[in-house]
Structure 1
Amino acid sequence: MKIAQNSVVKMHYSVIDKEGTAIDSSFDDEPLELIIGSGFLIPGLENALLDKEVGNTFTVTVPPSEGYGERHDGLMQAVPKSMFEGIELEVGMQFRATTDDGEETVIVLEIQGDDVLVDGNHPLSGIELTFDVEILEVREATADELAHGHVHSAGGCGHNH
């Protein structure tokens, strides 16, 4: 069976950046299982999976525009340190922030006296990513899986709907 919209795919993957730095891998752990078209994967990787079959292995390089997007300088800003009252701030900490576009995750980049420089960009935005993929299983999603938007394993999906 070829991978298409609404297919359940079980796969192993590894991903590196342009400099060859390892970002993530499932090869030494459990494989990733998802429904194609559910929005779980970045578009560049999901599109590369289409028409592949069990046993296929491939490498795909995904530009930022098909990954986590380009970086936007406007998503970096200095905010008063007083907004983090009672918190021992450290560079790299992540917080949920209310913005004009709703709730977003921001990362502390720098602490500058009474100000904290935060970044609302996704940590992988602006980065070209290269994936190595191995397709382990492909099947049609069940009606329940499509209705719930995620894969149900043999033991159920772990929660009640």
Structure 2
Amino acid sequence: MEQVKKGDTVQIHYRGRLEDGTVFDSSEGRQPLEFEVGSGQVIPGFDTGVTGMEPGEKKTIHIPAVEAYGPRHEHMIMEFPRDRFPADITPEEGMTLNMSDGQGQVIPVVITEVKDDVVLLDANHQLAGKDLIFDLELVSINGQGKSKIIMP
């Protein structure tokens, strides 16, 4: 039977959870996730985890933080002056906002604390620093991700 290898486009159902059992994402009720293995479309540990699977196979993989969204970085937590918030936004802990880096790049941030004069914003990915567990079911292998042109 065919096994997943780098360059294959695959369809896979998944359920992602944290070590405490909290589910953070799932394809349940949706189309399976489709991606090209080894292309950087998914986190490195996910690519590694599906490699070698066969259609119909189910398995659980454990991905350490370093192969997922990396470690948390303290330098990605910043203070933002409260008086620089738009008048129509009342900052609240847990609120997610999008900031611009001045070069057109949008960076999602989460408000972690609201003080009298500043608001603490965390630009770390919400799953940074966390080990992840994925329950996988390989639906299909659709061959090489890149089309080949055959000249007559």
Say whether the fold is shared (TM-score over 0.5): yes
- Runs of 4+ that moved beyond 4 A: none
Cα RMSD, aligned residues only: 1.9
Could you list the runs of 5+ residues in structure 2 that have no partner in the other structure? none
Give the TM-score, by structure 1 length. 0.81
Matched residue, 1:131: 134
Structure 2 distance, partners of 1:22, 1:99, is 34
Q: What residue identity is the alignment partner of 1:93?
A: T
Mapped to 2, the partners of 1:76 and 1:26 lie a distance apart of 31
Contact 1:97–1:106, Cα closer than 8 Å, also in 2: no
Tell me by how many angstroms 1:136 deviates: 0.4
Residue pairs, 1:1-161, within 5 angstroms:
1-86=2-87, 87-91=89-93, 92-98=95-101, 103-140=106-143, 141-143=145-147
What fraction of aligned residue pairs are identical, expressed as a percent?
31
Distance 1:99 1:44, change over 3 A: farther
- What amino acid is the match of 1:84? F
TM-score (norm 2): 0.85
Size of the aligned set, in residue pairs, is 143
Distance in 2, Cα, partners of 1:96 & 1:79: 11
Cα separation, 2, equivalents of 1:94 and 1:134: 34
Separation (CA, whole Å) in 2 of partners of 1:83 and 1:107:
16
